Chain A
Amino acid sequence: MSNTTATRVIVTGRKPAGRSLFRRSTPEHADRSVQKRRARRETLAGYGFLSPWLLGFFGLTLLPMAYSLYLSFTKYNIFQPPEWIGLDNYVRLFTDDPTFVQSAQITLVYVVVGTPITLAAALGVAMLLNYRDRGAGFFRSSFYAPSLIGGSVSIAIVWRAMFGNDGPVDSVLSAIGIDLGGWIGNPALVLPALILLAIWQFGATMVIFLAGLKQIPKELYEAAEMDGAGPYHRFRAVTIPLLSPVIFFNLLLGLIGAFQVFTSAYIISNGSGGPAGSTNFITLYLYKRGFSDGQMGYAAAIAWVLLIVVAIIAFILFRTQRSWVHYSGDAR
């Protein structure tokens, strides 16, 4: 017991408030001190295991975020020290920079049009695959492949060729009498081509939907059918509510991912964001401002606008979650 007390002094740096020798040696007391020591050991082990992550989180995420917030209030070109200019960058973004406004618009169109279609396609195909087991594994894998390679430079190059002038898409459309010309060089059609590229990568979302669908008990569908519910009603009353946590997850990650599209736009426009700024997504504009024009402070402000928009969307989604996402105790 004396040993315990000694350790406790060392560990807590505090003398035990021993009123009497007898009291200190009660089993209850010894127990509590052992518990405390164990808790301390656990905390120490926890931070030990977490140390690489903590270093990364503070050194490469939290502090850089704080620094970029600071930079967003400055004029900074790397060579001279940052010069504090207050809110000027932000004011300029919204009042005196039509390129930014355009870039925000096309990014929003891309997110708002692309994400729901991708989700709907993913859910539709997942339901198709859930209908029969035979061969479903093969289809599941082939549909998943594009999500793995879709963000690569190679696929962006393929897309540029496929939707370019005299590419496969153009020639098929011409053959059936729709003469649109190349999509890549056309400011009105290059964004749809990029949205199609995003939809093409529905596989990862589909796999998550499929796993969710498999967890819905078959009896629920049977019960609904007994009650005379047709396919549409079964979809509305069983599939959607029971799948809502998965829909929520996919929607959240899909929206946030769509805001960050970069590689395809960069490659398809050769880094220019053209034609006529129609592929100048926020991330590409940020990159050009920061790394081509050397306006690091201004680019940081763009990054913070992006962050705030994403945060607001995440907040709204989490806030409205209660009204449409159903967590049944079992399905989670």
Chain B
Amino acid sequence: MSTTSFGEQAIAALENQVDATEQIPRRRVKRKTWQTVIWFVVLLAITAIVLYPLVWLFLSTFKPNSEFGSNPGLIPNNPTLDNYVKVSEGIAGVPMWRFFLNSFIIAAGSVIGVVLSSALAAYAFARIQFKGLGILFAAMIGTLLLPFHVLIIPQYILFNNLGLVDTFIPLLLPKFLATEAFFVFLLVQFIRQMPRDMDEAARIDGAGHVRIFWSIILPLIKPALITCSIFAFIWAWNDFLGPLLYLTSPENYPLPIALRLYNDQTSSSDYGATATASFIALLPVLAFFLVFQRFLVDGVATQGLKG
């Protein structure tokens, strides 16, 4: 800042002159300032409304059970850590860390599956000219619009007949087979933006598709792969319907299903534990969000823009 070059100074001086000759009425400047203030206040108000449920949940974890129902406000009257102690002990004979571990295995497995299979498919769609490309690409886009619920019954019957119910395989196998079109589509969009010069040069040098994919495209699309990984993790972490269908024994439950356990058995009395377990289940997602929000927001923006 302090090392402004002479050229910039000169330009600034010129601009000041122009401003001076234009003589913007003071009223207009004032109006602009007011508009900015109103703009800021309105957005702050929206932020407060949007974040209120989250803040409320966080502060509720410190409320003793007796305060639920009598104190709907933000601040606990008699803050306590009892809820955390209770939740850490687990429920239905299963320790809390077990639910966490299950969630983590499912989410991490999903990330690996999604990134591998979606990157392969996206490379084929974006960079290889093959017979049937058009119709298969259209089919992929079609699955983007397909309601997932049409598939739950036949898929359940399939996995049930294979004896795979109450294992993680029905939850993970689809991820390794790129069934989530969102990721394939996102990566196709991203690969198409990449300049073709490098892979064309590599082809002339005799590199095949495997080589180009591995040493040129994959490093180039790293940001998109990170975006996909975070989404895959968070979606698998938050998924409810899949585990609800396929996991039957409590020691296999991931957090969302375990939460229901808190809910069903003790919801009449133990609001504190329910709130605290809910908050703990959200923590990894919130942490991911805080660290990677730029990737997430940019990823969504790219997905919607170029069709």
Contact = CB atoms under 8 A, between A and B. Distances in A.
Interface in A56-83: 56-57, 59-61, 63-65, 67-68, 71, 78
A90 interface: no
Contacts of B263: 157, 267, 270
Interface size of B as a range: 35 or more
The secondary-structure label for the interface of chain A is helix
A192 to B, nearest CB: 16
B26 interface: no
Contact of A142 (B47, B60, B152): B47
A34 B53 CA distance: 64
A149 B286 contact: yes
A249 B307 contact: yes
Nearest to A311: B145
Interface stretch (A20-28, A94-102, A221-229, A300-308): A300-308
Nearest to B123: A49
A140 B47 CA distance: 10
A148 interface: yes
A304 B136 CA distance: 23
Interface string B13-42: 000000000000000000000001001101
A171 B307 CA distance: 46
A129 B43 contact: yes
Contact of A211 (B131, B244, B305): B305
Interface in B164-190: 173-174, 176-179, 184
A168 interface: yes
Interface stretch (B4-12, B193-201, B271-279): B271-279
B151 A144 contact: no
Determine chain B's interface SS by DSSP, over half rule.
Answer: helix
A53 B151 contact: no
A46 B153 CA distance: 31
Given A53-B178, A60-B174, A154-B282, A256 B147 contact: yes
A149 B282 contact: yes
A42 B234 CA distance: 36
A93 interface: no
Nearest to B48: A142
B136 A50 contact: yes
A210 B301 contact: yes
A246 interface: yes
B300 interface: yes
Interface string A265-288: 011001000000000001100110
A233 B229 CA distance: 43
Nearest to B303: A208
Interface in B256-295: 256-257, 259-260, 263-264, 267, 271, 274-275, 278-279, 281-282, 285-286, 289, 293
Interface in B40-77: 40, 42-43, 46-47, 50-54, 56-57, 60, 68-70, 72-73
Contacts of B259: 153-154, 157
Give 7 nearest A-B pairs by CB, closest first: A56-B177, A46-B130, A208-B304, A64-B154, A211-B301, A49-B124, A53-B121
14 contacts: A43-B130, A60-B177, A61-B143, A71-B153, A131-B39, A144-B293, A145-B51, A149-B238, A157-B275, A207-B297, A212-B305, A215-B305, A256-B145, A286-B149
Given A60-B177, A158-B278, 10 more contacts: A43-B131, A57-B177, A61-B151, A149-B286, A155-B53, A168-B56, A171-B73, A215-B305, A253-B145, A287-B152
